[in-house]
Structures are given as structure tokens and as C-alpha cells.
Amino acid sequence: AQKITQTQPGMFVQEKEAVTLDCTYDTSDPSYGLFWYKQPSSGEMIFLIYQGSYDQQNATEGRYSLNFQKARKSANLVISASQLGDSAMYFCAMREGPTAAGNKLTFGGGTRVLVKP
């Protein structure tokens, strides 16, 4: 079974509108971390936001927020007020186990976002 599933291969969004990128995960470990990264065409992975499994509140970082629904095992990324520079691939990733378990991240297949002016 896929550990990280991103069901939207691609989507268009109008500039200045909000967009939600879906991510569902599968793990039996009670301790885990969820990450979102942005990958422009240049290839570099840019860290956006992190949510720990024990965090009580949804994470927010500027225009990025994470809609964390633990019971549903979903961690959707919300980008508010989209900008042309937001056009990129977006990856959801998971670290299974506590931080001491190491750095292995499992990535989803990604969602390509294209912001239209």
C-alpha cells in the first residue's frame, strides 16, 4: 500500500485565490511527522511546512497552512492568495517514527500547480 497518496496529479488555480492540495498517509506508528515541499522547475526542494502527529494545532507558515485530520489520516496543504511564483510541483512527505528514528522521508507522487494570471 502507498504510504503517501496525492490524488491530484495537476491543477490550475486563479491568481489570488486559495488552493487545497490533498495528501493522505498510511502508518501504524503513533509518532510521525508530515512535511510539504515545493519543487520549482529548477529542481530544488523547498521546505514549506511541518506537522507533528502529536501537535494539537494545525501548522501555519505565512500563506501556507496544513489541514491536519488525524483520524482520516490526511494532511492537506492550503495555499492562500496564490501568486504566479507558486506554480510548481508540491510534494507531501512523511517521517515514520519519532525524530530519533532518523531522517527517512517517504514522498508522494506530487501535485503540479499552475497559477493563472
Q: Using the rule CB under 8 A, is 50 a contact of other proteins?
A: yes
Q: Using the rule CB under 8 A, is 114 a contact of other proteins?
A: no
Residues 4-23 that bind other proteins (CB under 8 A): 4
Query: For residue 67, what is the enclosing H or E element?
Result: strand 64-69
Which of 22, 45, 78, 87 touches other proteins by CB under 8 A? 45
Nearest to 106 by CA among 9, 27, 14: 27
Q: Using the rule CB under 8 A, is 100 a contact of other proteins?
A: yes
Length of the chain equals 117
Q: Using the rule CB under 8 A, is 66 a contact of other proteins?
A: no
Q: Using the rule CB under 8 A, is 37 a contact of other proteins?
A: yes
Binding region for other proteins (CB under 8 A) out of 15-23, 33-41, 68-76, 79-87: 33-41
Residues 6+ apart with CB under 8 A from 54: 31
CA distance 19 to 90: 12
Binding mask 80-99 for other proteins (x = CB under 8 A): -----------x-x-x--xx
DSSP 3-state of 99 = helix
